[in-house]
Amino acid sequence: MTTRDFKRFFSQYKILALLLAIAMIWLFFEQLTDGAFLTPRNFSNLLRQMAITGMLASGMVFIIISGEIDLSVGASLGLLGGIAAILDYTYQLPMPLIILIVVALGIGIGLFNGYWVAYLRVPSFIVSLAGFLAFRGILLGITKGTTVPLESEPMIMIGQAYLPMMLGNFLGVAVFALMAFLTFRTRAGRAQHGLAVPPLWQDLGKLGVIGVLIVGFVYTLNQYEGIPVPVLVTLVILGIFSFMANQTVFGRRIYSVGSNLEATRLSGVNVRAVKMLVFGMMGLMAAFAGLTTTARLAAGSPSAGTLGELDAIASCFIGGASSRGGVGTVYGALIGALIMASLDNGMSMLGVESFWQMIVKGAILLLAVWIDVVSGAGSER
Amino acid sequence: MTEYLLDMRGIVKDFNGVKALDGIDLKVRAGEVVGLCGENGAGKSTLMKVLSAVYPYGTWQGQIFWDGHELKATSIRETEEAGIVIIHQELMLVPQLSVAENIFMGNEITLPGGRMNYSAMYKRAEELMAELKMPDVNVALPVYHYGGGHQQLIEIAKALNKKARLLILDEPTSSLTKSETEILLDIIRDLKRKGVACVMISHKLDEIAAVCDTISVIRDGAHVGTRPMSGMDTNEIITMMVGREIKNLFPREEHPVGEVFFEARNVTCLDVNNPRRKRVDNISFQLRKGEILGVAGLVGAGRTELAMAIFGCYPGQYSAELWLDGRRISVDSPRAAVTQGICLVPEDRKRHGIVPLQGVGANITMAVLGEYARHGVINAEKELCQIEKSIARMRIKTASPDLPIRGLSGGNQQKAVLSKMLLPNPKVLILDEPTRGVDVGAKYEIYKLMFELVRQGLSIIMISSELPEVLGISDRVLVIGEGQLRGDFINDGLTQEQVLTAALGQSAALAA
């Protein structure tokens, strides 16, 4: 295999390159920790660590695909988490109502940012930098700089509970059944419209791989305590957002706005609405991440989510999103988040000092995007 | 031999085997103003790029003698040092820097340690401004304080500061108002008296006639003739510029033309950067059902701006009243235009036509994606069916509908953009330079398609810079010059001379 073939292979199957990177990182830590890294317990920890960054990255990746940036999500995460804690501790509202209020506020914050970017045409870097300062300021104001504890058990469950084993097994089977159903529906649809149907063994093979992954995933987590609730939430987001990106009009619009805004506008698309909604989705993700963070800490902390936006942005870029817009995937962003979490987790286990962790994460980000630029350079012209 | 300051002999320049220049001669005496004329794409700009070494010595054939010696420059810096300075149509000033800083850009007068010697630069800049009869300009102010006319003169000051002996002005008045143009022409006359020679490329024959001593005409990359300006009249120049027969590249087909179906009244667009100037000046026209209306005019005449105003996407201030099928319609965005049955295939395919990273198929269905979706979820199979139909109908050559469109050839990209704009079933289709950068075969197919569409009752507005194309396809021709409607002709025995005469503002043509 020549270097060029190699490059082409990886630019076509970016996900393989990412999975290879994860495998290498895991084996590396497995070796250094004498087998303590790849245990069900640590796997569970790792996934719980990545869940919050993963939620943010799932929203952020669409912002980046549409050619924008959002620096305010760490602060809005903190603010929304803080509000959740106050609603619980001070006002003693029931959990469903708290979730409803926080989610609505999150979407509101996102749409507010989006309105400034899309309709008032302030660059997103500036709008979100303003949010970065202001939202944190509001949080400090309403909490008076103190930590607000959570009281109600159900709220804490959001961040700390595990699914019962039976439910986990059931979900695994249900997801597999859904995938099988979708595969065969696509086949039937293609046949109905007289389009070429891929050979059956190909689809069955794909389903087989999916099945093995699901079984492995559920089995490993059941070895410990079961599927953590935040991980489940992240996976549901992955499913819904991937579906949205690939199968809906809105998803297609996000990519075309990021790839060529003018051509999209001249095709009669309301590009401003698309941008604003993308920010709305980011707000929703900040709400989920905020609720999870507060529940995990069992308290609303005024410093929650600090630098969370940077981890999310880095995850997207490591996961193959393009800084010029138009390119990116949700699963890529989540794998990016998993790589970041693996580095954090592994180095902590090794007792590497935190300053080294920051240096390594920075270097990995730089390297990942450089590889992307180099491997993409051939196809650019 | 030293009679000429510049003597270009037998210049040949080809791009991948296509000859853009085929043996061109150009001679300029010291202190002479030569007008260089030719149609769009005749090779004027290419010739100037050869002269100023944008295309370095060795990438073209022929000889250039400068002041009696052969010039073998390989970079713009060398030609500038020799005293040949080109001023491009698009000004190359940095708006935020001061007038003096712009004049001395790359040529700064410095003090030890690399510090700018502002007092020396300001002094020299003021001298230059006085020389150009602009003593009021404050050379310490940023350039953006001054309008298009002043900026053009600042460019000239920059050139003079480089001790220019030959100024090349490429369409210098294209963004100037009438009075600003007068000032510029005065300056050129003044420079002439001081011994600075000038090559002026312009579509505006009255300006050429006003300042030039000699006129040189090129056509299709070949030298047609060089004559003294005195004794020439503009009709002769136009004949020299056109001078060729239409070859039968155009499959014109008879088709019925119906009643007036679309009407635009009082379309006016103001220049984005210079709102005092009208890019489109109160143009009104009608379009019949099943008609192909050609819009001719020289580059920068305001044709694209007119199309953008109708489509609701002109970036600056504009006004337009539109009637479709007897009803007044309001089009404030491309979205409104598309839903009301007006579609535009834009001129700049790369910037405004394609979404490069997306597949050919996704590009084709972009404008009507909602039709293949229920509750926002795309029915991929239904969409793919339409895509395959479009690809087959247009004979778009692509290995797969999922292939990113940027990998396709210009002709195939254009066909995909056309497909995209046909799917909303427009009633009025505006094609802005539909065959630019498209190979001959694809051109023919696009023409065929246009006739098929008008027979189905569509009305087409086709903007084109290629006169043979306009005359070969259109039922009627609008001629636009300097933002104004200069002619509205039934295309029956219409000649290129008539169109060009109208475009250049010769009132005689309006009689036709």
Asked whether A159 and A292 are in contact (CB, 8 A), the reply is yes
The H or E element that residue B475 is part of is none
Lowest mean pLDDT among A339-348, B73-82, B158-167, B169-178: B169-178
Give the percent of chain B with pLDDT over 90. 42
Q: Are B334 and A256 a contacting pair at CB < 8 A?
A: no
Lowest-confidence segment of A80-94, A190-204, B167-181 by average pLDDT: B167-181
Given this model, what pLDDT does residue A1 score? 46
The answer as to whether A95 is a domain residue is yes
Q: Which structure tokens are listed for B12?
A: 């040949």
What is the spatial distance between Cα A100 and Cα B280, in angstroms, rounded to a whole number? 54
pLDDT-derived band of residue A256, with 50, 70 and 90 as boundaries? very high
- A311 and A215 in a common domain: no
> Which chain B residues are closer than 8 Å to A248 by Cβ?
373, 376-378
A interface with B, Cβ–Cβ below 8 Å: 186, 189-190, 192-195, 247-250, 252-253, 255-256, 259-260, 262-270, 326-327
Asked if residue B491 lies in contact with residue B312, where contact means CB atoms within 8 angstroms, the answer is no
Residue among A195, A250, A256 minimizing CB distance to B366: A256
Compute the residue count for chain A.
Answer: 381
- The answer to whether residue A220 is domain-embedded is yes
A265 and A150, same structural domain?
yes
Q: What local confidence, expressed as pLDDT, does residue B232 receive?
A: 79
Interchain proximity A268–B338, CB inside 8 Å: yes
Query: Residue B509: what pLDDT?
Result: 40
Asked if A59 and A205 sit in the same domain, the reply is: no
Residue B38's alpha-carbon distances to B5, B35, B134, in angstroms, are: 23, 10, 32
DSSP 8-state assignment for residue B501: H
CB contact under 8 A, A264 and B366: yes
Domains of chain B, earliest start first: 6-242 (3.40.50.300), 247-341+425-512 (3.40.50.300), 354-423 (no CATH)
CB-nearest partner of A268 from B334, B376, B388: B334
What are the chain B neighbours of A272 within 8 Å (beta carbons)? none
What Rg, from alpha-carbon coordinates, does chain B have?
A: 25
3-state secondary structure chain A: CCHHHHHHHHHHCHHHHHHHHHHHHHHHHHHHCCCCCCCHHHHHHHHHHHHHHHHHHHHHHHHHHCCCCCCCHHHHHHHHHHHHHHHHHCCCCCHHHHHHHHHHHHHHHHHHHHHHHHCCCCCHHHHHHHHHHHHHHHHHHHHCCCCEECCCHHHHHHHHCECCHHHHHHHHHHHHHHHHHHHHHHHHHHHHCCCCCCCHHHHHHHHHHHHHHHHHHHHHHHHCCCCEHHHHHHHHHHHHHHHHHHHEHHHHHHHHHHHCHHHHHHCCCCHHHHHHHHHHHHHHHHHHHHHHHHHHHCEECCCCCCCHHHHHHHHHHHCCCCCCCCCCCHHHHHHHHHHHHHHHHHHHHCCCCHHHHHHHHHHHHHHHHHHHHHHHHHHHC
Burial, B138: exposed, middle or buried (Cβ in 10 Å; 0-12, 13-18, 19+)?
middle
- What are the residues whose beta carbons fall under 8 Å from the beta carbon of B71, sequence distance 6 or more? B57, B64, B65, B79, B82
Report chain B's terminal Cα–Cα distance, integer Å: 48
CA neighbours closer than 13 Å in the CB half-sphere of residue B155: 25
Residues ≥6 apart with Cβ < 8 Å to A240: none
B303 and B340 in contact (C-beta within 8 Å)?
no
Q: Which two tokens stand for residue A131?
A: 């949010």
* Res A328: pLDDT: 92
Please tell me the distance from the alpha carbon of residue A143 to that of residue A300, in angstroms, as a whole number.
Answer: 9
Calculate how close chain A gets to B419, using CA atoms only, in Å: 12
The predicted model gives B162-190 an average pLDDT of 84
pLDDT at position B1 is 47
Residue A180 placed within a domain:
yes
- Closest-CA residue of chain B to A326: B357
pLDDT of residue A243: 93
**For residue A278, what is the domain's CATH number?**
1.10.3470
Chain B residues whose CB is inside 8 A of the A259 CB are 355-358
Q: What are phi and psi of A228, to 5 degrees?
A: -65, 140
Domain boundary residue, one of A211, A227, A243: A227
Q: Do B384 and A195 touch (CB under 8 A)?
A: yes
Of the listed ranges B50-54, B147-151, B302-306, B373-377, the one predicted with least confidence? B147-151
Percent of chain A with pLDDT over 70: 95
Two tokens, residue B480 = 């636009």
Q: How many CB pairs under 8 A join A and B?
A: 93
Element of type H or E holding B10: strand B6-15
User: Residue A319 domain-assigned?
Assistant: yes
B376, B388, B420 member nearest A267 (Cβ): B420
Tell me if A189 and B379 make a contact (CB, 8 A cut-off): yes
Alpha carbon distances (Å) from B149 to B26, B132, B143, B277: 29, 12, 12, 11
Task: Give tens-digit pLDDT for B457-494.
Answer: 999 999 998 888 899 899 999 999 888 999 999 998 88
Residue B264 has φ and ψ, to the nearest 5°, of -120, 130
Mean pLDDT of the region B132-141? 86
DSSP state of B254: -
pLDDT at B319: 93
**A-chain residues within 8 Å CB-CB of B312?**
none
β-pair partners for B36: B201, B216
CB nearest B367 (choices: A190, A267, A270) = A267
Instruction: Find, among B189, B464, B463, B177, the residue nearest to B309 by Cα.
Output: B463
CB contact under 8 A, B376 and A267: no
Output the CA–CA distances (angstroms, integers) from residue A231 to A48, A282, B106, in the order listed.
6, 18, 59
Provide, as residue numbers in chain B, all residues whose Cβ is less than 8 Å from the Cβ of A378. none
Q: Which residue has the tokens 């961040």?
A: A159
Name the 3-class secondary structure at B64: strand
Question: How confident is the model at residue B244, as a pLDDT?
Answer: 55
The shortest CB-CB distance from B370 to any of A195, A249, A263 is to: A249
**Confidence grade of residue B15 (pLDDT, cut at 50, 70, 90):** confident
Tell whether A146 and A52 lie within a shared domain: yes
Domain holding A171, by residue range, is 162-227
What mean pLDDT is predicted for residues B171-180?
A: 76
State the number of CA atoms in the 13 A half-sphere of A305 facing the CB. 37
For residue A25, is it within any domain? no
**B381·A248 Cβ contact <8 A:** no
- The structure's pTM equals 0.80
Of A193, A259, A262, the CB nearest to B358: A259
What phi-psi label fits residue A39: left (phi over 0), alpha (psi between -120 and 50 degrees) or beta? beta
Q: Which two tokens stand for residue B411?
A: 């002709």
pLDDT of residue B181: 83
Task: Check whether residue A180 and residue A151 sit in a common domain.
Answer: no
Considering the domain architecture, whether residues A292 and A192 belong to the same structural domain is answered as: no
Q: Do both A270 and A131 map to the same domain?
A: yes
Q: What torsion do the CA atoms of B244, B245, B247, B251 make, to the nearest 10 degrees? A: 130
In a domain, residue A5? The reply is no
Q: Are A282 and A110 in contact (CB under 8 A)?
A: yes
Our count of domains for chain A comes to 2
List, for residues A180-226, the tens digit of each pLDDT value: 999 998 888 888 888 888 889 989 999 999 999 999 999 999 999 89
Same domain, A124 and A170: no
What's the CA gap between A329 and A316, in Å, rounded?
8
* Torsional class of B14: left (φ above 0), alpha (ψ -120 to 50), beta (otherwise): beta
A147: pLDDT confidence band, cut at 50, 70 and 90? very high
Q: What is the pLDDT of residue A4?
A: 59
8 A C-beta contact, residue B504 and residue B482: no
Helices (H), strands (E): how many in chain B? Answer: 16, 22
Q: Which amino acid is at A294?
A: T
Whole-number Å distance between alpha carbons of B490 and B467: 15
How far is residue A218's CA from residue B140's CA, in Å, rounded to a whole number? 72
Q: What is the mean pLDDT of residues B377-400?
A: 90
Read off the DSSP letter of residue B114: G
Instruction: Write down which residue in A227, A255, A273 finishes a domain.
Output: A227
Put simply, the answer to whether B381 touches A327 (Cβ < 8 Å) is no
Least confident of A248-262, B211-225, B325-339: B211-225
Task: Collect all residues of chain B within an 8 Å Cβ-Cβ radius of residue A186.
Answer: 380-381
pLDDT on residue A197:
85
Residues A10-19 have pLDDT tens digits of 666 777 888 8
Contact by Cβ (8 Å): B261, B326 = no
| Least Cα separation, residue A194 to chain B (angstroms) | 8
Q: How high is the pLDDT of residue B512?
A: 38
Whole-number pLDDT of residue A379? 42
- Decide if A363 is inside a domain: yes
Residue-wise pLDDT tens digits, A101-135: 999 999 999 999 999 999 999 999 999 999 999 99
Per-residue pLDDT for B9 more than 60?
yes
Whether A6 is in a domain gets the answer no
The answer to whether A29 and A281 are in contact (CB under 8 A) is: no
Nearest to A266 among B352, B358, B376 (CB): B352
Residue B22, strand partner residues:
B12
Residues A202 and A146 in one domain: no
pLDDT band with cut points at 50, 70 and 90 for residue A7: low
On whether both A100 and A148 belong to a single domain, the answer is yes
A137 lies in the same domain as A178: no
Same structural domain for residues A213 and A352?
A: no
Q: How near does any CA of chain B get to the CA of A190, in Å?
A: 6
What's the pLDDT tens digit per position in A273-284?
999 999 999 999
What confidence tens digit (pLDDT) does each residue in B35-88 have?
A: 998 876 678 888 988 998 888 888 899 999 998 889 888 888 889 888 999 888
Among residues A176, A209, A227, the one where a domain terminates is A227
Contact B167, B187 (CB under 8 A): no
Check whether A294 has a pLDDT greater than 90. Answer: yes
Percentage of chain A lying above the pLDDT 90 cut: 75
Burial class (CB in 10 A: 0-12, 13-18, 19+), B29: middle
Nearest CA in chain A to B359: A256
Residue of A nearest to B353 (CA): A263
